[in-house]
A and B are shown apart, each in its own frame.
Chain A
Amino acid sequence: MRTSWWKILCVVLLIYTVIGGFLFSVPAREILHETIRNLYFHVCMWFVMMVLFTTSVVYSVKYLRSQRLRDDIYAVNFATVGILFGVLGYATGTLWASYTWTEFASNTQIFTEPKLTGAAIALLVYFAYLVLRGSITDMDKKAKVSAVYNVFAYAVLFPAIWVLPRLLESLHPGKEGNPALNFKDSDARLKMVFYPAIIGWILLGVWITSLKIRLDLIKEKSILNG
């Protein structure tokens, strides 16, 4: 195993997250009750997705500047694992909402929820990124077109999940700012598990991505060195 200290940190933090996430005391919330613990799991999925997509777009820009195939491999793998975490975040959010929002909101309100719609749009845009890559056989063209597309996808991602839900009427928390990151706002008991959880999940996402990248680098060795 290569450079393993952060992988060990990842394992330790995730085990702490599960134990603390289930057993530590949480603040009492109406409607949410014990499901506030989902903060350590559902919200972290989106954090990982954002970090991976941001890294991906950085590598896409790097590719466009350098035309090195290695940067393209980095970009596509960060985006793929980012999509995985986005889908996980969406699925967990669906389950969470179906047991909490349904207690006070109408179906119409839930189906037209701007944050859900925005997240769905953003994920579909990223699905299209993979479809676009799959449809081009020429390697350099594939890398170049998908790198440009990735920059646009990122430009859609931001308004779709960060801007629009804050402008419209939303059931989802976060309209008032960044409740999860506001040091004064969130409960100390939650922060004690939440911050390590974010780091742990991000490290796991990066770990999985690094494996995929290394595998691709082995596969494309002849091209990369030639």
Chain B
Amino acid sequence: MVKKTISILASLLCFIPVAVLAQVNDPQKQYTAFDMRSNGKIYVVVGVVLIILVGLLLYVARLDRKITRLEKEK
């Protein structure tokens, strides 16, 4: 009985490295750069794109106001 338990445990142990390996080979980890989000300074890129986007949107909003003023003039 004890022997059987040990053998089961041992065989279970055999699977652990496989499981670890499987995690490393997990396509999600391999293909998408998770580190980028914390260490790769991706936030800087998000910031830059946001500044451009907000700048452009403000420009469009300003045009909108100008045209509204023109419409009211006449």
Residues facing B in A97-128 (CB within 8 A) are none
Q: Does A167 contact B (CB under 8 A)?
A: no
Contact of A214 with B50 in the complex, beta carbons under 8 Å: no
What 0/1 readout, one digit per residue, does chain A (184-211) give for beta carbons within 8 Å of chain B?
A: 0000000000000000000010011001
Contact of B49 among A2, A18, A207 (CB under 8 A): A18
The tally of residues in A whose CB lies under 8 Å from a CB in B reads 27
Q: How far apart sit A15 and B55, CA to CA, in the bound complex (Å)?
A: 12
Q: Does B63 contact A (CB under 8 A)?
A: yes
Contact of B57 with A214 in the complex, beta carbons under 8 Å: no
- Report the number of A-B residue pairs with Cβ-Cβ less than 8 Å: 64
A19: chain B residues within 8 A (beta carbon): 46, 50
Contact of A218 with B67 in the complex, beta carbons under 8 Å: yes
Contact of A15 with B50 in the complex, beta carbons under 8 Å: yes
Given A1-B64, A7-B61, A28-B28, residue A22 in contact with residue B49 (CB < 8 A) = yes
New contact pairs (9) apart from A1-B68, A207-B64, CB-CB < 8 Å: A7-B61, A7-B64, A18-B49, A22-B45, A23-B42, A26-B32, A28-B32, A204-B57, A211-B67
